[in-house]
Structure 1
Amino acid sequence: MNDLELDVRPILRHGGEPFGAIMGAVGRLAKGQRLKLYATFKPEPLFHVMASQGFASEASALEDGEWMVIFTPTDRDHVDAVEPNVDAPETWPDPAHYLDCTELDPPEPMVRILARLETMVDGEVLFALLGREPIFLFPELQARGHAWVGDLDEDGQAYRLMIRAGGRS
């Protein structure tokens, strides 16, 4: 299987933020596929983010201080292990808020979900429909103390996510 290559050097040279492009590329990876990233600097903060999502990183210096990093999946199924913070979702109230993020590119779904959660009262439930499993959202939800459950719909085309604001019961 070929690596998926992403060159964010033009984005960085023009003062842009490549995180959305990187997350979009991660979302397009086939199972077991590696991401080969080119950057104008060694993207050390990204190493931690990617490691938390089950990717090992190998960085190599290129000419002129630029870098190539290969992110290799180690265990992409580990995300399910991050989710034991839900005791009884069947006892949650009906969702008070709904977001359809199926047409949005990363990181916009995560941005919108986190923004909505900031406005919610503890215990309220948000239902979100996404175009893919939001692997980078789960650690953010956990860090903020929100509870969640999620799965793919019957035909595997959308990811359904329910989030209870304010943490565990």
Structure 2
Amino acid sequence: MGLEFKELDVRPILAAGGEPFQAIMAAVEGLGPGQGLTLLAPFQPQPLYSVMQRKGFLHQVNELEGGDFEVRFSPRATEVLTSEDVQDANNWPEPSQSFDFSDLDPPQPMVRILSELETMAPGEVLFAVLAREPLFLFPELTKRGHQWAGNFDSTGSAFRIMIKRGAQDAR
């Protein structure tokens, strides 16, 4: 089954002097699994590309006759990222600790996760939801001997991570 695209034409909003960002974000929030967004605009909405990338979308641009643009935003696959030493995260035990740190600003999620891991026994698993991919946390976990696996949720708006406590804290 192919990807289904919903269409949003922001040209009338812009022609009337309006700002289409709210309408675009409402359209994105209304997308279901397996749906993308086709955006019609009188120019390439380049600042929108990074916003949509953070939400888990790739983009493809086509110039239309008359100088307008069609931008297709497709959900990227929810690739699972892992630390190099992970063999089979599917066989890890159920998390003994679960946290939603999506409302915290960096570096608080990293500080809280590292602190919680210190209280856990080797082999226990922590699960956390974060507002963004924790790029600075990954090397800290590896340095301390922990394994991790994570990915973005289907909306691309939250990063989920499972961390298996290592045998020792190798700081």
TM-score relative to the length of structure 2: 0.50
Rounded to whole Å, the distance in 2 between the matches of 1:119 and 1:87 is 24
Inter-partner Cα distance in structure 1 for 2:103 and 2:85 = 28
Identity %: 52
Written as runs of structure 1 = structure 2, the 5 A alignment for 1:16-55 is 30=50
Partner of 1:163: 163
State the match for 2:111 in structure 1: 111
Shift in Å at residue 144 of structure 1? Answer: 0.2
Deviation at 1:138, TM superposition (A): 0.3
Aligned positions of 1:7-156 closer than 5 A: 30=50, 83-156=83-156
Query: Aligned partner of 1:103: which letter?
Result: D
Which whole-Å CA distance do the structure 2 matches of 1:145 and 1:115 have between them? 14
TM-superposition CA deviations, 1:69-104 (whole Å, max 9, x none): xxxxxxxxxxx5x72211011111000001110000
Moved over 4 A (4+): none
SS where residue 94 of structure 1 aligns?
coil
Over 3 Å counting, the alpha-carbon distance change for 1:127 and 1:109 in structure 2 is same
Q: Is the 8 A contact 1:147 1:164 kept in 2?
A: yes
Counterpart of 1:100, as a letter, is D
Specify every segment of 5 or more residues in structure 2 that has no aligned partner in the other structure, as ranges: 1-49, 52-80
Aligned partners of 2:146, 2:163: CA distance in 1, in Å?
7
Cα 1:157–1:119 shift into 2, 3 Å? same
RMSD: 1.9
Query: Which consecutive residues of structure 1, in runs of 5 or more, have no partner in the other structure?
Result: 1-29, 32-79
TM-score by length of 1: 0.50
Task: Give the number of equivalent residue pairs.
Answer: 90
Aligned to 1:95, what secondary structure does the other structure show? coil
2:126 aligned counterpart, secondary structure = strand
Deviation at 1:167, TM superposition (A): 5.3
Larger Rg: 2
